[in-house]
Amino acid sequence: MIKIAPSMLSADFARLGEQIEEISRAGADYIHVDVMDGHFVPNISFGASVMKSLNGIESAPYDVHLMIEDPDKYLEDFVTDRTEYITVHQEACPHLNRTIQHLHSCGVKAGVALNPGSPVCLLDEVLDEADMILIMSVNPGFGGQSLIPSTLRKIRKLADLREKEGYKWTLEIDGGVNLNTISDVSASGVDIFVAGSAVFKADSLGGRVKELKAAAEAER
Ligand code: DX5
Ligand code: ZN
């Protein structure tokens, strides 16, 4: 399963609707929605109202990535008819099991993200409950950073574990995915590829979605 999730963070917000339609029609599988609070990460992006402004626009389902402290307070805001996943950070959730239950009670799939400096073992006790594991391949906060190669080890470890133990979660990578890095990333066994600047800074947004998907598929 190879899925491309362009990150809205790098979109041109003056043309957000038309860009979302273009990439959705070109085969983007999800719209990755990067929410930053200026506390958990050193940058502020946007909130649920920007996402909801797309209500009348043709769009792929939303894959919401909350880079915020105390996410439990805000989960309901991001639940819409189009929200498939909401992902919280392990590092921001002292009661991670409770937060996953909260997400499920909202009717969405629960993702858990890990920063580059956090080891996979921090997720050991939620591997039965999570629907997605998101491995950050950059330190979260900004688009356009370079992929940290050692993070691919974590993807390989999780892909092996899933194979061995029969876990059902989806594996997602986020940060520095572009035409130069996507082959190595795909070889690591990831399912969903987030790509921000690689899509939104391209001359043809839809064309780039297709190029990325083809490059990832060529490695399988
Ligand atoms: C990083 C965000 C990413 C980011 C990816 O904090 O979570 O989703 O937008 O951007 P690129 O693909 O440009 O690295
Ligand atoms: Zn993200």
Cβ 38 vs Cβ 44: under 8 Å: yes
Rounded (to 5) percent helix, strand, coil in the chain:
40, 20, 40
Identify the band that residue 1 occupies on the pLDDT scale cut at 50, 70 and 90: confident
Residue pair 106/75 in contact by the 8 Å Cβ criterion: yes
Nearest atom, ligand 1, residue 41 CA: 6
Q: What is the average per-residue pLDDT within 62-76? A: 98
Chain segment 126-137, per-residue pLDDT in tens: 999 999 999 999
Q: At a CB cut-off of 8 Å and minimum separation 6, what does 200 contact?
A: 6, 7, 10, 11, 12, 19
Residue length, the chain?
220
pLDDT value, residue 101: 98
Over residues 146-174, the mean pLDDT reads: 98
Beta strands in 50-190 (DSSP E): 62-67, 83-89, 109-114, 132-136, 170-174
DSSP code of residue 76: G
Partners of 111 in beta bridges? 87, 132
Active site residue 63: no
Q: Is the pTM of this model over 0.95?
A: yes
pLDDT greater than 90 at residue 158 = yes
pLDDT of residue 137: 99
Q: Is the pLDDT of residue 62 over 90?
A: yes
Q: Which of 132, 197, 208, 212 to mutate to test the pocket of ligand 1 (most atoms within 8 A of CB)?
A: 197
pLDDT at 84 over 90: yes
What is the structure's pLDDT at 25? 98
Q: Which ligand is nearest to the CA of 8?
A: 1
Confidence of residue 175 (pLDDT cuts 50, 70, 90): very high
pLDDT in tens, 32-53: 999 999 999 999 999 999 999 9
- Cβ contact 18:209 at 8 Å: no
Percent of the chain scoring above 90 in pLDDT: 100
Known catalytic residue at 34 = yes
Binding site membership of 199 for ligand 1 (Cβ less than 6 Å)? no
